[in-house]
Amino acid sequence: MKNILQKFPVALLSLLMITIMSCSKDFLNEPEPTDQVGTDVVYGSREGAEAFISGIMRRMRGQFTEKGDDAGGLNSMLFARTAKGNDVVIGTGWFAYDYENNNREPTYRRPRFSWEFPYYIIGQVNQFIHGVNESEALSETDKRQLLAQGRAIRGYYYHQLVLEFAPAYSVAPDFPAPPVYTELSLEGHPMSRTQEVYDLILEDLQFAVENVGTSRLDKSYINKNVAHAMLAQVYQVMGNWEDAETAANAAYGGDLSSALVSGSYANGFNDLSVGEWIWGLPQYDDQSQYYYSAPHVQTDHSVESYQNAYFNNEFVNLFSGTDIRKLFNNYYEVEESSFRHWVTSKFAFTFDADIPIIRTAEMILIEAEAKYRNGDAGGAHDLLYAIQQNRDPKAIRSSNTGEDLLEEILLERRKELYAEIGVEWFDAKRLQRGISRSGNHRVGSSADLAPNDKKFYLKIPQSEIDANANIDGSVNENR
């Protein structure tokens, strides 16, 4: 579907735009600018403000740009991280440059998209926050709950920005990071510091957890579980393990028996209503990313798609024969040495295939890692084995201790979340580890990442440097 909103060369100018969309007949099915739907209508009722949130959600799950099928929406950012790992092998089509770890120069599409898309969403949220705060029609209770939804989205997208454009938090909290915008502004702000961005992220997400409701229209919207999950990811990066444990447990509800649904794992990962999904991006036949829908369009080789993602032999061999997650096959009947040897049926691609962003299993494994780091090895084992046993009826509880237990938890994250959210890259970056390509990869050591490699973050796009008087070309000298 073609974008109908004009996108400006500088991300901050999107603060002037407003979108509105709702399933209700009272509002349009596509976002419209302010001069067509007045702010008095949007912020004159809770329903109007919620329609604005629907418009933001629509932009998150749609095609953001027509410049490349690897630059669609949030899922494109996450799959680009997947492509940079060792477990997945990318062919010569879309995401190939991410896979080769060279898609990071100022004029390249990845830096520009990974900068402009989050700032576009943040700009919409800042417009929303301003409108809610200025409204004389909304009650204080409604304002708090609406602001909580907006600030959760803003905090999440600032986290994506700082992950993409700065070293790991544990490495350099004072490193120059993307500018911070919390209000409407026509002036480009200077670079911030990583710590400054994380301070805002925490402020936003903690406000969201305290004020957002538990109910929602569907799992593409923000509720308390989603806000807790977002916060758990941030605490994990920051190494705040006590709060990570609490937030992750709250995100999935703490009930392991209801949090894991083994029967759904092999059903195509395309249904937002599955109990294990906490947050996702819905797709519809007439409102779809179409061929921008990574991971599905990249990994499903059984239908008309890009068929561009394969899997490392060494990774596939980590699964037991009775593990329900071992959804790999030699579709092309090629030799084991070929990078095309293994494909997966984990994701079933159709135009209406929903896209997972956060699942309960991720939260359980964050809680397991947090328990381990908080000195509760027994509790970590319990959570780890709960997932292992759910996924493999013949799983045996391990006796690992110390670093071996941590490595087992990290491996389980890779096995559980492969090709979904770039978990291998995420863990390597936050833990200051490298990523070495081995097995049957299409590329060799030239695409390896050393611990704290500069290739773990992108250069600031030239379009921002050209348009923002407070940022010049020297910003990329140490990138």
Domains of the chain: 69-102+263-448 (1.25.40.390)
* pTM of the predicted model as reported, rounded to 2 decimal places: 0.92
Show pLDDT as tens, one digit a residue, over the chain (479 residues): 223 223 333 333 333 333 333 333 332 234 444 445 678 889 999 999 999 999 998 888 778 876 678 888 999 999 999 999 999 999 999 999 999 999 999 999 999 999 999 999 999 999 999 999 999 999 999 999 999 999 999 999 999 999 999 999 999 999 999 999 999 988 999 999 999 999 999 999 999 999 999 999 999 999 999 999 999 999 999 999 999 999 999 999 999 999 999 888 999 999 999 999 999 999 998 888 888 889 999 999 999 989 999 999 999 999 999 999 999 999 999 999 999 999 999 999 999 999 999 999 999 999 999 999 999 999 999 999 999 999 999 999 999 999 999 999 999 999 999 999 999 999 999 999 999 999 999 998 899 999 999 999 999 999 999 999 999 999 999 89
Burial class (CB in 10 A: 0-12, 13-18, 19+), 219: buried
- DSSP letter for each residue of 235-268: HHHHT-HHHHHHHHHHHHTS-HHHH--GGGTTTT
CA gap 402, 319 in Å, rounded: 23
For residue 106, is the peptide bond before it cis, meaning its omega torsion is within 30 degrees of 0? no
Under DSSP, the state recorded for 421 is: S
SS3 312: coil
Angle, helix 377-391 to helix 360-373, in steps of 10 degrees:
150
CA gap 8, 302 in Å, rounded: 38
Torsion sign (Cα): 55, 426, 161, 4: negative
Angle, helix 224-238 to helix 194-211, in steps of 10 degrees:
150
Torsion sign (Cα): 249, 252, 258, 260: negative
CA gap 217, 355 in Å, rounded: 17
